[in-house]
Each structure stands twice: as structure tokens, then as C-alpha cells.
Structure 1
Amino acid sequence: MSYVTVVDDSPAGSIENLDRLMTEILPDPEGLAARYAGTVDGKLCIVAVWDSREHAETFMERDLGPGLRQLLGGAAPTSAPGSVGIEIEHSWVR
């Protein structure tokens, strides 16, 4: 079952940092189907669509923390405040 994660204030902080994180440090996470990102009120917001909850959790627990530490140089949170995960029960695509 597909799973969506929504982060309303990513520790990556900017689109440029997100691009670097996802191309140079953590390219092609397993199970990631799509990612959408934008800035709202100066905060980086990210919506990611995963093949399953397990794929999202594996990425968040195993890869994201070390990737953010490498990107930001030092201590970085392993999860973003205000993040939520949603099991997709119904979908519609234009």
C-alpha cells in the first residue's frame, strides 16, 4: 500500500540543500515514487510518495539522519518536527 510523508519544516532548510542531499548524498532512496517540495513562509515543505510505509520508515530511520548530518556538518535531527505519515486508502490521479 502506498504511503505519503509530509514534512512542513524540513531540517534541510532550502531547495538547494534538498537537491544536494538527494543527488549527492542520498540518491534514489529505495521505494520513493515521487517527491514534491516548496517553500511556505520561509520553511521547506516536502511531500514524498513511497511504495510502502516500510520504505519510508527505512529511509527515515537508516538514511535521513546521517545524510542530514553530512549535509549540515554535525548534529542534525533525524526527523522533522511537524512531519506526518499517511497510509493511502484512496487515490485519484488526473
Structure 2
Amino acid sequence: MTYVTVVDDSPAGSIENLDKLMSDILAEPDGLAARYAGMVDGKLCLVAIWDSREHAEAFMTTRLGPGLRQLLGAAPAAPPRALGIEVEHCYVR
């Protein structure tokens, strides 16, 4: 089942850092269908569409932390707060 994650304050901090993280540090995550990113009130916000909850959780628990450590030089004080949504209805234009 499709799964969506929403992060409202990514430790990556900027679009440039996100690009570096996702292209230079981490390989394309398994099960990632789409990613949307933008700045809101000075915070990097992300929406990711995953093939399943399992894909999202595997990325968030095993790959994201080490990637952020490499990008930032140290682990973030706390993991990114992510809202997860099991998609029960979808509308695509």
C-alpha cells in the first residue's frame, strides 16, 4: 500500500544540502516513488511517496541517520520528526 511521509523540519536544512545528501551520499532509496521539497518559514520540509510503509521505515531507520552524519559531520540531536500516512484514497490529476 502506498505510504507518504511528511517531514516539517529536515536536519538537512536546505535544498542544496538535500541535493547533496540524495545524489552524492545516499543512493536512490528502494521503494521511493516521488519526493517533494521546499522551504517553509526557513525550514526544509519534505514529502515523500513510498511504495510501502516498510520501504519508508527501512530508509528512515537504517540509511538516513548515517547519511545525515556524513553530510553534517555529526548526528542530528534527534531524528527528523516524520508523519506517516497509509494512503487509503488517492487522487491524481
Q: TM-score range by the shorter chain?
A: over 0.9
Distance 1:30-1:78 versus aligned 2 partners, 3 A rule:
farther
Cα-to-partner distance string for 1:24-75 (whole Å, 9 max, x where unaligned) = 1112100000000000000000000000000000000000000000000012
For residues 15-94 of structure 1, what are the structure 2 equivalents within 5 Å? Answer: 15-77=15-77, 79-81=79-81, 83-94=82-93
Give the TM-score, by structure 2 length.
0.96
Unaligned residue ranges in structure 1 (runs of 5+): none
The letter of the residue matching 2:63 is D
Q: Figure out how many residues of one structure are paired with residues of the other and give that number.
A: 93
- If the length of structure 1 is used for normalisation, what is the TM-score? 0.95
Give the unaligned 5+ runs of structure 2.
none
Q: Distance in 2 between matches of 1:2 and 1:58?
A: 15
